[in-house]
Chains A and B, each alone.
Chain A
Amino acid sequence: MAEDYTKRTEYTGEAAQMKAAHVLLREVPFTPSLPELGYNNRTLHIDLTTLTVTEKPVTQQMKDIFIGGRGFGLWYLWQAIKPTTKWNDPENDIIISPGPLGGNTQYPGSGKSLVVTLSPQTSIPIDSNVGGYFGPLMKFSGFDALEIQGKAEQDVIVVIDGQKGVVRIETAPLEPSDSHVAAEIFTAEYAETEADRRNVSIVSAGRAAENSLIGCLNFSWYDLRRKATRLKQAGRGGIGTVLRDKKVKALVCRGPQVRGDMNHPADMARITKVATKLHKEIHDFDDQQCHMRRQGTAHLVEIMDAYDLLPVHNFQYGNHPDTKKIASWIWDARFTQGIPDGCWYGCSMACSKGADGHIVKTGPYKGHVVTVDGPEYETAGGCAANCGIFEPDWLLESNFYCDTYGICTITFGTLTAFIMECYQRGILNKERTGGLEMTWGNAEAQMELLHQMARGEGFGKIAGLGVLRMKRIFTERGWGDPQLLQDIGMEIKGLEYSQYMSKESLAQQGGYALTNKGPQHDEAWLIFMDMVNKQIPTFEAKAEALYYFPLFRTWFGLNGLCKLPWNDIEPEDNAQTSEPAKVPDHVYNYCELFSGITGREIQKQDIITMSEKVYNFQRVFNIRMGKGLRLHDTPPYRSVGPVTREEYESRAERYDTQMREEIGVNPDGLSVDEKIAITRRYREDRYQKLVDAVYTRRGWTTDGVPPVSKLQELGIDFPELVEVVKQHGG
Chain B
Amino acid sequence: MAARGMAMIRVNGDPIEWHEGMTVRDVLVARNYKFPLIIVTVNSHLVRREAYDTTVVPDESSVRVVHLMSGG
Contact = CB atoms under 8 A, between A and B. Distances in A.
A529 B69 contact: yes
Contact of A528 (B34, B36, B46, B69): B69
B37 interface: yes
A570 B37 contact: yes
Nearest to B13: A534
B68 A581 contact: yes
Nearest to B46: A575
A300 interface: yes
Interface in B7-51: 12-13, 32-37, 39, 46, 48-49
Contacts of B71: 297, 300, 303-304, 377, 525, 568
Contact of A533 (B48, B49, B66, B70): B66
Nearest to B12: A534
Nearest to A583: B68
Interface in A285-323: 288-290, 297, 300, 302-304, 306-307
A538 interface: no
A532 B37 CA distance: 13
Contacts of B70: 290, 300, 567-568
B34 A303 contact: yes
A500 B66 contact: no
B56 interface: no
A300 B36 CA distance: 10
A580 interface: yes
A186 B25 CA distance: 53
B2 to A, nearest CB: 14
Nearest to B14: A534
Main secondary structure of the interface of B (DSSP, over half): loop
A576 interface: yes
Interface residues of A, number: 33
A290 B71 CA distance: 9
Nearest to B69: A567
A521 interface: yes
Contact of B39 (A288, A500, A568, A575): A575
Interface string A516-535: 00000110111111001111
A89 to B, nearest CB: 34
Given A302-B34, A528-B35, A576 B66 contact: no
A693 B44 CA distance: 30
Output the residue of B49, B66, B71 with the most chain A CB within 10 A.
B71
Nearest to B50: A288
A290 B68 CA distance: 12
A581 B66 contact: yes
A104 B50 CA distance: 35
A307 B12 CA distance: 14
Interface of B: 12-13, 32-37, 39, 46, 48-49, 64-72
Given A302-B34, A307-B35, A580-B68, 17 more contacts: A288-B36, A288-B49, A300-B71, A303-B35, A304-B71, A524-B72, A525-B72, A528-B69, A529-B69, A532-B65, A533-B12, A534-B13, A535-B66, A567-B70, A568-B37, A570-B37, A580-B39
7 contacts: A500-B72, A524-B72, A528-B67, A528-B69, A570-B68, A574-B68, A580-B66
Nearest first, the 9 closest Cβ-Cβ pairs linking A and B are: A525-B72, A528-B67, A575-B39, A306-B34, A300-B71, A521-B72, A533-B66, A567-B69, A289-B36
